Structure 1
Amino acid sequence: MPLRLMEIYLPETNDDAISEFIDDESIVKFWQERSAETGLLVKMILSVEQTEKMLDKLEQRFGGKDGFRVVLLPIEATIPRIKGNSIEEEPAPDKSTKPDNGENEILRISREELYSDIVDSTKFTITYAAMVLLSAIVAAVGLLQDNVAIVIGAMVIAPLLGPNVALALATTLGDFDLGFNALKTNLLGISIALGLSITIGYFFPVDPAIPEIASRMHVELPDIVLALASGSAGVLAFTSGASISLIGVMVAVALMPPLITFGLLIGSGNVTGATGALLLLITNLICVNLAGVTTFLVQGIRPRKWWEAAKAKRAARLAITLWSVLLAVLIVVIIFSQKS
């Protein structure tokens, strides 16, 4: 089970202030040292799913003190190996009782660590723009040549996972700034890919009968299932520390091919086919975000402060309601279009 090293800096060398945390059963190892420059430095090793609770307790106890800071570091290995009070030997939690703070006992990184990992993906940089541009070129070539391998290659380099997961996290936490940056980066990335694909479609012949293109000119119910699974897997990649690059391919599969198909068909003047591709793109965007917000809520991601939690709860309810209504409307449209 993953472990974290937590370094706590306190300006006052007050043993009583930190003694209440020493007996916490979630701490695997604990030690402290004093310095005239830094004051009291406390270090503890604890399991990854316990870090958020400990961070909340520390901030509540020492948050108002000048010089207070917590540094959280991942642990790759320790020598000697941790034994005795190791995580593997802890008794299983009593499933008949649930914590009163509403947090689920699910293995995931802390809220602060998750936020730190995701916030960088909302920044629109030259690298992000270049990766979107390159993935759009590769995807367009793969679609025009009806080459599945090339299309998959485009999905590997498409940087679409971060901004979409960030948008879902912003909704869950009620964080307007994070949501604005995520939405901006998403829209700019989509605009770059769309503009390039329209240009390619204008100058190169686009045959709508190509299977890779034709399959993305309409929406079917399995496409909805794929997009929902992609959104949930994308969130789990961040919260569990799984391979983000590999799972990011799933999100890219749901978004990049229909986006490029839409642009190619618009550029070639095929408005009818482009409408179907646009419907698929919108459906996938709704499903990815709906699944992302739902997965965050199921994993117990909440703001720490109660007034922030109330705002986040309203934002999450509104988002889930909006996405669900739109998805229901799209499903009705899909069913009627298939019958006709």
Structure 2
Amino acid sequence: MPLRLIEIILPRDSAPIVEQLQNFGSVLDRWDDQLNDGKVTVQLLVHAGNAEAMLDELEERFSHFADFRIILVPIEGTLPRPVEPDDESSNGHPKSPERISREEIYSDVCEGARISRTFLAQAVLATVVASVGLTRDDNAVIIGAMVIAPLLGPNISLCLATTLGDTKLAITSLKANAAGMSVALALSLLLATVFVVDPELPAIQSRTQVSGGDILLALASGCAGVLAFTSGAPTALIGVMVAVAILPPFVVFGLMVGSGDFDAARGAFLLVATNVICVNLAGVLTFAAQGLRPRVWWEAERAKNAMRLSVGIWVTLLAVLIFLIYQASLE
């Protein structure tokens, strides 16, 4: 299990209280360093799975201090090697979750929900790359657009916002989704006047048809994407980006609308809707299954209500989507 170094800046006379914390038994090692102005830095080495409980208790105990600060640092390795935790800790507490802390997940996921020049540039570049790949029927080029995947981040952050009941993050995620899709749609409509778009090309035709397999694929990929974030293994996201790409079928939708082929555009839009709905539904359920909760009880209650509402909405939309897919298959 990976390690984390928790650095706490405290008033000097409060440092002994750290040893009285309920979760102090999970600490592998401790170092204290005296600072100026009557402050001290306490460094705690813990397993990543124990970091969240320790951070919650530290914040609850010391957040009223004006100079209080916690810094969480990932550790690549240390010698001597630490002992791996047992299924049950020595103090009788339940097994720590097999994921990184809430704060780390929040920080990583929020990066994909910000509307920045980099995000908009990625949306533009991914749209151009996808358009070229689709019109050439070149899967290697299309995969390049999938790996850029500017629209996956806002959807994962929306899942996290729902799980934590974070209204501000949810609004930010929706704005990023809207901005990325607006850029992709406007540019693909423009590129439809530049490229000769053949709807019979396999790369385009395959993205104008939806089946039950696409629903299962999107659900599994949404689950895998969240697991990649919660395990602290972002490299695993590359496979998810390729498996449940949102942008290429959306580019096909824009190209078909720009070319006047509205029947093919409808099929592409259904595929985009399938991916978005299933990624969000699977993502919310996976975050919840991973035990991700707000720290305080009143936020937890709000998050529970938000999650129930969100799951209900996504399940309803999925049912409507399945009906539309069935109707399309009869035509």
Change (3 A) 1:198 1:23: closer
Q: Is the 8 A contact 1:230 1:250 kept in 2?
A: no
State the partner residue of 2:88: 93
1:275 aligns with 2:266: yes
1:200 aligns with 2:191: yes
- Counting only pairs closer than 5 Å after superposition, residues 89-238 of structure 1 correspond to structure 2 as 90-93=85-88, 99=94, 105-238=96-229
| Residue identity in the other structure for 1:124 | I
Q: Is the 8 A contact 1:169 1:296 kept in 2?
A: yes
Q: Which runs of 5+ in 1 are unaligned?
A: none
1:205-253: CA deviation from partner (whole Å, max 9, x where unpaired): 21111111111112111111111122112211211111345245236x4
Q: Is the 8 A contact 1:11 1:66 kept in 2?
A: no
Identity %: 47
| Residue identity in the other structure for 2:26 | S
State the partner residue of 1:41: 41
| Per-residue deviation, 1:8 | 0.7
Using the size of structure 1 for normalisation, the TM-score is 0.91
Change (3 A) 1:183 1:114: same
Q: Is the 8 A contact 2:4 2:72 kept in 1?
A: yes
- 2:193 is paired with a residue whose SS is helix
Q: Which moved more, 1:116-125 or 1:220-229?
A: 116-125
| Per-residue deviation, 1:98 | 8.5
Once superposed, what is the RMSD of the aligned Cα atoms?
Answer: 2.0
State the partner residue of 1:249: 241
State the partner residue of 1:64: 64
Change (3 A) 1:98 1:14: closer
Could you tell me how far apart the structure 2 residues matched to 1:215 and 1:19 are? Answer: 60
- 1:150 is paired with a residue whose SS is helix
- 1:208 is paired with a residue whose SS is coil
1:82 aligns with 2:89: no
Could you tell me how far apart the structure 2 residues matched to 1:23 and 1:337 are? Answer: 56
| Per-residue deviation, 1:280 | 1.2
Could you tell me how far apart the structure 1 residues matched to 2:233 and 2:110 are? Answer: 17
State the partner residue of 2:284: 293
Q: Is the 8 A contact 1:199 1:267 kept in 2?
A: yes
Could you tell me how far apart the structure 2 residues matched to 1:259 and 1:47 are? Answer: 42
Using the size of structure 2 for normalisation, the TM-score is 0.93
Change (3 A) 1:28 1:98: closer
Could you tell me how far apart the structure 2 residues matched to 1:262 and 1:48 are? Answer: 43
Q: Is the 8 A contact 1:155 1:249 kept in 2?
A: yes
Could you tell me how far apart the structure 1 residues matched to 2:74 and 2:252 are? Answer: 41
Q: Which runs of 4+ in 1 moved over 6 A?
A: none
Q: Is the 8 A contact 1:13 1:34 kept in 2?
A: no
Q: Which runs of 5+ in 2 are unaligned?
A: none
Q: Is the 8 A contact 1:160 1:248 kept in 2?
A: no
- 1:335 is paired with a residue whose SS is helix
Q: Is the 8 A contact 2:135 2:195 kept in 1?
A: no
1:142-176: CA deviation from partner (whole Å, max 9, x where unpaired): 11111111111111123222211111101111111
State the partner residue of 1:259: 250
| Residue identity in the other structure for 1:273 | A
Could you tell me how far apart the structure 2 residues matched to 1:12 and 1:105 are? Answer: 30
State the partner residue of 2:5: 5
- 2:154 is paired with a residue whose SS is helix
| Residue identity in the other structure for 1:289 | N
1:65-113: CA deviation from partner (whole Å, max 9, x where unpaired): 22111110000122x3234xx2x2x32239xx995xxxx8431111111
